Structure formats: structure tokens, C-alpha cells
Structure 1
Amino acid sequence: MFSSLFSTSPPADPHAPNFHPVASKFKKDELFGELTPKDTELLCTSSGFVTETQIFYTITEDGIMIMCQLIHSSVGLWYPTIQFTCKIFDPKTQKTTWKSVNVSNFTCPPTGLDKRSSKADEFSFTYNSKPGSDYPESYTIRANPAPDIQIFLEVSRPASVSGWKIGKGEAGGYSNFGPDSNNPEGYVIHRFWPRFKASGHVVLAGQAIPVEGPGMFVHAIQGMRPNLVAASWNFCHFQSQDLGGVSAIMMEFKTIDAYGVKGAGSGGVSVSVGSLVVGQKLVSVTAETRLPGETQSPDAPVKCRVAHLKPALDADTSYHKPCEIQFEWAGPSLDAEKTKGYKALLDIDLGTVEQPKGLIEKVDVLAEIPKVLKMAVNYVAGTKPYIYQWINPAKLTINETSSGDVLEANGFVYIESTFIS
């Protein structure tokens, strides 16, 4: 894979696809792929350009957001860089606690465990299995990334909310880059627990804060240089305790111009994957590929899309950030006997540039990633990627397409919009 990133040999047909999106590989009734134990094992590779992450997001009853993340970055010629990052945001006080450290003595797997677990001096993620129980899988998270920050959380996946990827089997979940999908130049994959139960506490500057609430887990891998994967990313994570437990998640990326379904120069392809949990059950998994300039009927049976509305120039970043954002899901039901499908809609007012609503931070990406990764990424002069992070109260509207019933769930939504080029 490392050598292929430097190849200059074009495909025989310059208009042949050099991007193969996961959302186009499977039929609408084949989108759900249940996770296998191997799917959430860490690769921890030390060759090629591979950035791998495990992220746990929790939102408490009063809207406190807690994020714990492992990042394992291999950049080809150098020893992998391993980071632990955490962010805790309290919307009532508007206080953000953020820490990112390069860890010491990283081990995967720890003695007696498999590669779903890892540890270092600063943190540990320990996978636990209880087959046949109401919560058959869990992780114990312990972290002490700084003297004034301690985290202890137990996150448990309900048996009724399966983990998922798009499509079954070993090929499930992969969007492949390059003319040969079977021998790709690079790839992107996401695997999710769309809803878990978290309990524990965090200690900030000597003050203990109890943590109870729902959340989600994602294991994501980018198997190529980050600046070649996408021009932009969007991520949405909605959780509610209404209706017995509701979750709506979505991950979207848009390819750079060099990678498209009609060869180099036809990029700008948007790939979205997402799911809905209603009544503490995974009810639908959906995915969508959108080509540049393509429009789709509002009545399409399968949708998974994000729309930036009322964009406004932000002088701090030089990007046009949305003042409103909309997420939309539509997909077949995983229980065909109950309903044919589900639709859901989430509209969020993000405020203006001058008066934002729910803005946690504008993250300067190049200021946060390790120096060696910056060298490998080698961004062109003037490009400065930023991540906007928001958390807001929100109402998800859900429609069961068979019955026509309209349901509403009130909760919180965490959103990231990443601008790269």
C-alpha cells in the first residue's frame, strides 16, 4: 500500500472509476452488516499511511459531552504515533476541558486480552464480554492524561442495539480508493455501536462529576494519507431517552477532485452512512452516494444526507460555516414485519458567526496533530483544516413509513463539520 501511494501510472481507461463507495456496493436490504469480533480489533499497523481511531462519545442527561479517543497513526517511514485525547464540555458553564497527549508504553493487546483492548501509562480501554446478558459487550475506560484530569467510565452496549457496518462480510464497510477495488491505493471504514449506556465519573481539578447517560462508539480507519481521503467531513450524534431510547448517527465524507466514479477529476463524491435506534432497538441502517451536482427525489426510499444551510464566511477560519444544518435519514426497517421503513429529520440552528449557538470549539487541526504526521500529510501552502464542534438541544422527528405514525424525541445532538480544502 505504501508504494502504491506514490504510483504515477494511470489506469488503462482514464474515465474508469478510481473511487468505489461503500454506499453503492450493497442493495438497500443488504446495508446492515453485524459486527464480528475482528471488526473492532485494532490493527495497530506500523507500515504505510494508516490512521486508526477508537472514539467513545457520551452525552449526560443535562447535556455534558464527554469524548475519549485513541489515535494510532502510522506514517510509513516513522514509528507510529499514539495519542490519547479527551474533551469534556459543560453547556451550562460553557467550560471546555481538552487534553491530547502522546502516550507512553502503549500495548495492544494487554496480557490476557485480545486486540479490542489496549493500554498505556495514560489510559486503558478494556473490552468485556458477557454473552447472553442484557448488555453482552462493554468497555471499561480509565484515563489520567494530566494531573488534574481523571476519567472512569463503563460503557455497555444493549443486546437490542447491534453494532453495525455497511454490508456483511470482510468487504463490508470499506470505501476503496484507486482503479482496482480489490487492490486499493487506500480505503476508509467505519464500524459503530450506535447507542450505549455509560456510567462512571470524571474528576476535573479535584472536583468529581458523576456521569450517567447514553452515547456511541466508533472504530474508524483511514488507510491512506489524510489529505487524500476527503475535502470535508460531517458527523452527527443524537441521543435521547424518549420513546424508550433513541439514537440517530451519521458520518459523511466528500472525496477530493482526484477520486471519483468517472476517474481522476470527477471527485466531490459524498458518501454517507448512518442508523436509527428507536425504542432501544436498532431499527434501520442506511447509506447514500451522491455524485457532484446530483439531486435526488425527496421521496427516495433510501437517504442519508447532510445539508449546510445559510453558509456564512468565518474570518477566523476562512471557511463558510453553516448557520443551520439538516440531517436526514430514510431506510428499510430491520424488522420487516413491523414496518417497511423509517424516515427521520433533524434541523439544528447553529447561530451566526458572531452569535453562535452551541459552539464548543473551532479546532485548528494542524495545531493538534503530531509534527511527524504534518510532514507526511504535506498540505499545500495556505490550506488550514478546521473542525467545528457543536452540541445543542434538538428534536428528532421520526416517521414509520408503513403506519404513517410520526414520533418525536427530544435530546441532545453533537455535530462536527470538518473543512479541509
Structure 2
Amino acid sequence: MFSSFFSTADPQAPNFHSVTSKFKPTELFGELKPKDNELLCTSSGFVAETQIFYITTTDGKSIMCQLIHSSVGLWYPTIQFTCKIYDTKTQKITWKSINVSNFTCPPPGLDKRSCKADEFSYTHKSKPGSDYPESYTVQANPAPDVQIFLELTRPASVPGWKIGSGDEGGYSQFGPDTSNPDGYVIHRFWPVLKASGHIVLGGKATPVEGRGMFVHAIQGMRPDLVATAWNFGHFQSPDLGGVSAIQMEFTTTKSYGRKGAGSGGVIVNIGSLVVGEKLVAVTAETKYPNEKSDADSLVKSRVTHLRPILDPDTGYQKPCELLFEWAGPSLVTDKPGTYNASLNVDVGDVEQPKGLIEKVDFLAEVPKVLKMAVSYVAGTKPYLYMWINPSKLVITEPGSDAPVEASGYMYNEATFIS
């Protein structure tokens, strides 16, 4: 009767289980099923769920539309819609973030890939067998002077993906017991979408044409317990028939690692490459503390901060350059081998930044209930840097020693939490 007072678990047993530990390099690609992009919209436990569309237009605008559904257990879920529009030519930024009213998921006659509120709607449509088998219509009126109407379609040649197939695909779990985890993180992607429509700012309508991506991410845990830092990169180019390169990376807190509490600082990075408007590789890599990365590894998915410098505004060592690298088994049947790619982006220093959209207090952009749950933690001071810059992706295809280049825009974020 006293056994519950004592723990027999090994304190050095793994209490973080990266998604990459479950799948071989040849099993990294898991094609998304319809249910993967259905919204959970849970109202129990601590779950922060988001669906984001990132778009780069042909005339150099960056558009982001984001739904955030936050549950903090004791409170009714908060649903927020955020949009950010940045013009690289004028450097003008438009940012709106609102708590929505009368949120419904699913709307009548649709499944949970669609949702609506008084201020916005995501409407999913399916056209099986067509060149564009899936699409979302995004309509939003987050403020009297901002209206958004976008058609976002996924080409059939570029399927949505997660790391690994099946119900366990995509999940990194926290805690010693994966069947009953302390929490989890999952990401699901459309690496390419075609964007068209228009935005209205201050009464002036502007057409939108471009390329982008979609991500459905869920954190089943308080964000300050999940990670100390995040990196995200999204490159799009019309060159070579259509190119995309994306990465999502997080670093676990010290509490979660391969040898129990105190062994954290594990870096998990997942990504993909699209060349010729085909998904050619899905990449994933986990780096544990005190282990060196293999520079010649056949599987690579990593971002390196170069020339870090103290930013007195935030207190963090921000990079002046970032190096993104990809390597993974080819998904193209007639091109067996390994795809490699790299991209170096110069974001400037503190005094002379390059392509800096914003550096913001992260908690200023999340729902109030999420802010309440995180902000009381001592030492937690999240800051988010956002950049967009003209960049070149260098690609080496299987069986070739001659790299090719694609020119486009790299949108990337670096988030420091603690």
C-alpha cells in the first residue's frame, strides 16, 4: 500500500523521445491523411494548436495568416487570429491580432479541416484526381482597414508530409512513458502551395500572386517546458520548375533528454526539399548534447547560427548569419541516392540589420491565457526575430557533382525562450 510513495524508475532513463528515433532514414516521409489536418480544438489539458499559412508574393511581400487555439485546462479555450503583412520594398508592416468570437469547427457541411468565426474563416476543399487536389480559402476581416481573401492550393506533385507514417508519425514525446507522455510536439506540412487573391489595406486593394507553405503544429505541453529555442526557415523560388526548402527546429529544456532530467538541450530538426515542383526529400536530424554533428552525414537537417552577437534590446545572442543544410534519401524513383542542399542567409548585426521584419516580445502575440501560464516562470523572456531576404538555395541532386542554384526569398524566424 506504500509503493506509490516510492519511485522505482531509473532517473537516467530517457524522458524525451524524438520523432527521428522512431523511423529509419528511408521511412522519414509520411504522407498526410485527411484526419492529420483536422483541428483538435481540445478544451482539456494544456494544448496550443496552430495552423499557419506563409506566403511570399511575386512582388516581394510576406504574408502570414495564423489561427491559434489555446487550451489551458481550467479556462475556456481562447481562439486567436493573427495576420502579418510585410512589404520588402517599402518596409511597411501591417500586423493584426484578435481574439475571435463565435468560433465554430467544423462549420455545417464541412469537416474539421475547416473552421470559421465572425472575423475569419478557413474553408478546406477537396478535388481528388485533379492537378490541385486540395485547397483552402482564407477570408479575414481582422480590422476595419484590413481585409484578406486568399485561395491557397496544393499541387498534386507535392504531397503534404509528416515525419513517419501511421498514428505515431510526426510526434516527439516528453516523459519516460511514450504511451502516457507528459506532453508532445507534432508538425504537419504542405511544403508548397500556390497563392492567389487580394488584400485590402486602408481601402486600397492589392492583388496577391505567389508561393507559400502551410503548417499544422500542436504542442501538448506548456511552451516554456517544451523548448528553450526555436528556428524556422521557409524558402520559395520559381526557378528550376518550382523549388521549396523548409525547416522547423526546437531545442528541449534541460529537464528532458536522453538520460533523464538535466540531460536536455536536445536539438530536433525536420525539413523537406521540393525541386521541379516535386517533393524530392524529407529530412530529419536529432543532435544530443556533447555530440558533434557528422559533416558528411547522408541524412542532415540543421541550422547553424553564425557570428552571434549580443542584442541589448533582448539580452540574447542573435546570429548575424544562419546556415541551413539539408540531406536525405531521394523520394524520386528515377533518381536514387541523396539530395543535398544548403542556404546561407545574412541577417546583419544589431545596428545594421538585413531584412529584419520585427523582433518582438513573443508573449505579446499569444493569447492572454497562454501568456498567464508562461510569464510567471522565472527567467522566461521569449523574443522572436523575423527576417525575409533574397537568398540562393544550392542543390546537389543524386548522381551529380555539379550543384544548381535557385534564387528566391528566405523567410526565417529565430525564437529565444530562456
Q: Which moved more, 1:238-247 or 1:376-385?
A: 376-385
Deviation at 1:182, TM superposition (A): 1.5
- Tell me, yes or no, if structure 1 residue 83 matches structure 2 residue 80: yes
Does the aligned pair in 1 maintain the 2:70–2:367 contact within 8 Å? no
Tell me the CA shift for residue 8 of structure 1.
Answer: 11
Q: Partners of 1:10 and 1:355 in 2: how far apart? A: 54
Name the aligned partner's letter for residue 374 of structure 2: V
Confirm or deny that 1:25 pairs with 2:31: no
> In structure 2, which of residues 393, 399, 403 is the aligned counterpart of residue 402 of structure 1?
399
Which residue is 1:418 aligned to? 415
Query: Counterpart of 2:319 in 1: which secondary structure?
Result: strand
Aligned twin of 2:282? 285
CA offsets per residue over residues 271-291 of structure 1, 9 Å max, x none?
Answer: 000000000000000100000
- Distance in 1 (CA, whole Å) between partners of 2:247 and 2:97 is 25
1:101-140 equivalent positions in 2, closer than 5 A: 101-140=98-137
| 1:381 to 2:378 alignment | yes
| Deviation for aligned residue 1:380 | 2.5
How far does residue 188 in structure 1 lie from its aligned partner after superposition?
Answer: 0.1
Distance in 2, Cα, partners of 1:393 & 1:202: 23
Number of equivalences? 415
Which string of whole-angstrom CA distances, capped at 9 and with x for unpartnered residues, describes residues 2-58 of structure 1? xxxxx9986610010000000121000000000000000000000000000000000
Structure 1: stretches of 5+ with no match in the other structure: 1-6
Of 264-273 and 369-378, more deviation after overlay is shown by 369-378
Matching residue within 310, 313, 318 for 1:316: 313
The separation in 2 between residues aligned to 1:293 and 1:345, in whole angstroms, is: 24
Partner in structure 2 of residue 231 of structure 1: 228
Equivalent residues in 2 for 1:166-185, closer than 5 Å:
166-185=163-182
DSSP-derived class of the 1:373 partner: helix
Q: Provide TM-score, normalisation by structure 2.
A: 0.97
User: Which residue number in structure 2 is paired with residue 152 of structure 1?
Assistant: 149
User: Contact 2:374 / 2:380 at 8 angstroms: preserved in 1?
Assistant: no
Query: Is the 2:62–2:86 Cα contact (8 Å) retained in structure 1?
Result: yes
* Offset of residue 292 of structure 1: 0.9
Q: Read off the aligned partner of 1:53 and give its amino acid letter.
A: T
Is residue 37 from structure 1 mapped to residue 17 from structure 2 by the alignment?
no
**Are the aligned partners of 2:330 and 2:398 in contact in 1 as well (CA < 8 Å)?**
no
- 1:42-81 CA-to-partner distances (Å, cap 9, x unmatched) read 0000000000000000001122000000000000100000
With structure 1 as the length reference, what TM-score do the two structures score? 0.97
CA contact under 8 A between 2:16 and 2:175: conserved in structure 1?
yes
Cα distance between partner residues in 2 of 1:356 and 1:262: 39
Give yes or no for the alignment of 1:265 onto 2:265: no
1:134/1:342 CA distance change after superposition, 3 Å = same
Contact 1:227 1:379 in 2 (8 A): no
Counterpart code for 2:314: T
For residues 184 and 378 of structure 1, the distance between their equivalents in structure 2, rounded to whole angstroms, comes to 24
Give CA-to-partner distance per residue, 1:245-288, whole Å, 9 cap, x none. Answer: 00000000000000001111000000000000000000000100
Distance in 1 of aligned mates of 2:7 and 2:414: 32
* Partner amino acid, structure 2, of 1:383: T
Amino acid at match of 2:83: C
For residues 6 and 79 of structure 2, the distance between their equivalents in structure 1, rounded to whole angstroms, comes to: 33
1:100 aligns with 2:97: yes
**Cα distance, 1:339 vs structure 2:** 3.0
Work out whether residues 175 and 187 of structure 1, in 8 Å CA contact, stay in contact via their aligned partners in 2. Answer: yes
The residue identity in structure 1 corresponding to 2:217 is A
Q: Which of 335, 355, 363 matches 1:366?
A: 363
The question of 1:298 aligning with 2:292 is answered no
Q: 2:351 is matched with which residue: 354, 366, 369?
A: 354
Match of 2:64 in 1: 67
Contact 1:24 1:288 survives alignment (8 Å): no
- Map Cα deviations across residues 175-218 of structure 1 (whole Å, 9 max, x no partner): 00000012111000000000000000000001111100000000
How far is the alpha carbon of 1:338 from its aligned partner? 1.3
**Amino acid in the other structure paired with 1:150:** Q
The 8 Å contact of residues 256 and 263 in structure 2, kept in 1 or not, is answered as yes
SS of structure 1 residue aligned to 2:26:
helix
Distance 1:45 1:249 in 2: 28
Deviations 1:111-156 (A, max 9, x none): 0000000000000000000000000000000000000000000000
Q: Which amino acid aligns with 1:262?
A: K
Give SS of 1:243's match.
Answer: helix
Pair 1:251 & 2:248 matched:
yes
Structure 1 residue 205 corresponds to structure 2 residue 205: no
Counterpart of 1:3? Answer: none
- Tell me how far 1:402 sits from its aligned partner: 1.7
Check conservation: 1:339, 1:403, Cα contact below 8 A.
no
1:141 has 2:138 as partner = yes
Structure 2 match to 1:4:
none
What is aligned with 1:217? 214
State the distance in 1 between where 2:8 and 2:81 align.
40
Report deviation, 1:159: 0.2
Q: Identical aligned pairs, as a percentage?
A: 73
Q: Report if the CA contact (8 A) 2:335-2:398 is conserved.
A: no
Matched, 1:335 2:340: no
Deviation by residue 1:79-114 (Cα, 9 ceiling, x = unmatched) = 000000000000110000000000000000000000
Give the whole-Å Cα distance in 2 for the aligned partners of 1:114 and 1:350: 41
Q: Which runs of 5+ in 2 are unaligned?
A: none
Using the TM superposition, give the Cα deviation of residue 390 of structure 1 relative to its aligned residue in structure 2, in angstroms. Answer: 0.1
1:379 to partner: Cα distance? 3.8
Measure the CA separation in 2 of the matches of 1:170 and 1:199: 33
Q: Between 9-18 and 322-331, report the one with greater CA deviation.
A: 9-18
d(CA) in 2 for partners of 1:89, 1:118: 26
